[in-house]
Amino acid sequence: MFLLVALVALCLGYLLVKYHQRRQQLLEISRHFSGPYPQYFLGCYYLFKNKSVEDIFDVLNECHQKYGADVSMVGAFNDLVLDLSGTENVEKVLLAKTTKKSFPYEFLEPWLGTGLLLSFGDKWFQRRKIITPAFHFKMLDQFMDVFNREANVLVARLESQVNQKEFDIYDYITLYALDSICETSMGVQVNAQNDPNNEYARSVKQMSEFIFRRVFSVLRQFPSLFFLYPFAKEQEQVIKKLHNFTNSVIEKRRRQLENEQLLNKVEFNRDEEDLYSKRRDTFLDQLLKVTVNGQPLSTADIREEVDTFMFEGHDTTTSGISFTILQLAKCQDVQQKLFEEINTAFGADASTTVLTSASLQELKYLDLVIKEALRLRPPVPFIGRKLLEDMEMNGTIVPAGTTISLNIYNVHRNPKVFPDPERFDPERFSDENEVKRGPYDYIPFSAGFRNCVGQRYALLEMKVTIVKLIAAYRILPGESIDRLRLKTDLVLRPAGTGIPVKLVKRLR
pLDDT band at 286 (very low <50, low <70, confident <90, very high): confident
pLDDT of amino acid 219: 67
pLDDT band at 187 (very low <50, low <70, confident <90, very high): confident
pLDDT in tens, 91-100: 999 999 888 8
Select, from the ranges 97-106, 155-164, 281-290, the one with the highest average predicted confidence (pLDDT).
155-164
pLDDT of 442 higher than 90: yes
pLDDT of amino acid 273: 45
pTM for the model: 0.89
Q: What is the mean pLDDT of the chain?
A: 87
pLDDT of 265 higher than 70: no
pLDDT of 276 higher than 60: no
Tell me, rounded to whole angstroms, the distance of Cα 272 from its chain centroid: 29
pLDDT mean over 480-507: 89
Residue 11, class by beta-carbon neighbours within 10 Å (0-12 exposed, 13-18 middle, 19+ buried)?
A: exposed
> What is the total residue count of the chain?
508
pLDDT band at 274 (very low <50, low <70, confident <90, very high): very low
User: What would the DSSP string read from start to end of 90-156?
Assistant: HHHHHH-SSEEE-TTGGGGHHHHTTSTTT--HHHHHHHHHHHGGGGSHHHHHTTHHHHHHHHHHHHH
- Provide the b/e sequence for 122-149 (b: ≥16 CB within 10 Å): eebeebeebbebbbeeebbeebbebbbe
pLDDT in tens, 34-86: 999 999 988 888 888 887 777 888 888 999 999 988 999 887 888 889 999 99
% of the chain exceeding 70 in pLDDT: 94
Q: Greater confidence, 292 or 473?
A: 473
